[in-house]
Amino acid sequence: MTKIFVPPIKSQGIKTKLVDWIKESSKKVKFERWVEPFMGTGVVAFNIQPQKALLCDNNPHLICFYKAIQDEKITPKIVRDFLNKEGLKLLQSNGEYYYEVRERFNKNHNSLDFLFLNRACFNGMIRFNQKGKFNVPFCKNPQRFAQSLVTKIVNQVENIAKIIKSNHYEFKCQDFQETLLETNQDDLIYADPPYIGRNTDYFDCWNEENEVILQQILSKSKHKFILSTWFSNKYRKNHYIFSIWKNYHIITKEHFYYVGAKENNRNIIYEALLSNVNISY
């Protein structure tokens, strides 16, 4: 197994433990540019490390954060100084300072505040209300930004900065439909939409209409794509795989999601990769 580069931004649906699988599957496809309409944390692209990529998301805070790293407005030193300073305030306030930062972020949308909230909120969630306000509560650990975690985040920023600098990546905040209009036959589209029927961790809602539109655009364009979704869990199957996605190549992999500390909260799910090219290996 190759080294996995973990991005500084966390999310509940992050693909860290699936990166090797996705990477091996994508090796069968020839492409000149890697395109992601749903970049999320960027973990897949930063580990595939294509020379050229178009990385998009409709969450402006994710895009602004990575653009700031690309433009060197956010550096490892800046992150270390910021988290040390803000982490001390969090500790001295017994955690109450988190809500001051959250209120400040919802007014000013500062990328460093976004990083702070993402790493100090409950369960690493990225969630916004209907007014676009970040509304995840505090993780209830005033000592959250101990030196060990600060160093870990700084190293993550440094690793991602090197990857971005070594390649030609374009970051855009836009809807997935806009991104797909920019693709061509030399691209490989990696689509990781919110898991319909399961995922609420998204900047906007995702529903059946969105899923159908995505499938129709990918089908009509005939451009190469790989799509991540869920196949089944112990309770049910993803019926969209057997309806709108039934005519595509599919491979599956068992995966554990650890939600909570108790064993009975740990769920097995079968992940699926769908594609219009053969990705079996």
Structural class in CATH, domain 76-161: mainly alpha
Is the pLDDT assigned to residue 260 strictly greater than 50? no
Q: What is the pLDDT of residues 207-255, one digit of tens each?
A: 899 999 999 999 999 999 999 999 998 889 999 999 999 999 999 999 8
The whole-number average pLDDT for the span 53-74 is 98
Q: Which residues contact 36 (CB under 8 A, 6 or more apart)?
A: 44, 45, 53, 54, 55, 56, 57, 179, 189, 190, 191, 192
pTM of the model: 0.93
Which CATH number applies to 16-58+174-275? 3.40.50.150
| pLDDT, tens digit (0-9, with 9 covering 90-100), for 132-159 | 999 999 999 999 999 999 999 999 999 9
How many angstroms separate the CA atoms of 25 and 43, rounded?
A: 16
Model pLDDT, residue 255 = 85
pLDDT at 275: 98
Confidence of residue 12 (pLDDT cuts 50, 70, 90): confident
Closest CA to 8 of 131, 116, 81: 116
What is the reported pLDDT for 261?
37
Q: What is the pLDDT of residue 264?
A: 45
SS (H, E, C) the chain: CCCCCCCCCCCCCCCHHHHHHHHHHHCCCCCCEEEECCCCCCHHHHHHCCCEEEEEECCHHHHHHHHHHHCCCCCHHHHHHHHHHHHHHHHHCCCCHHHHHHHHHHHHCCHHHHHHHHHHEHHHCCCECCCCCECCCECCCCCCCCHHHHHHHHHHHHHHHHHHHHCEEEEEECCHHHHHHCCCCCEEEEECCCCCCCCCCCCCCCCHHHHHHHHHHHHHHCCEEEEEEEEEECCCECHHHHCCCCCCEEEEEEEEEECCCCHHHEEEEEEEEEECCCCCC
Bridge partners for 229 per DSSP: 272
178-201 per-position pLDDT tens digit: 999 999 999 999 999 998 876 544
User: CA of 254: how far to CAs of 46, 149, 198, 262, 267, in Å?
Assistant: 23, 30, 16, 20, 10
The structural domains of the chain, with segments of one domain joined by +, span 16-58+174-275, 76-161
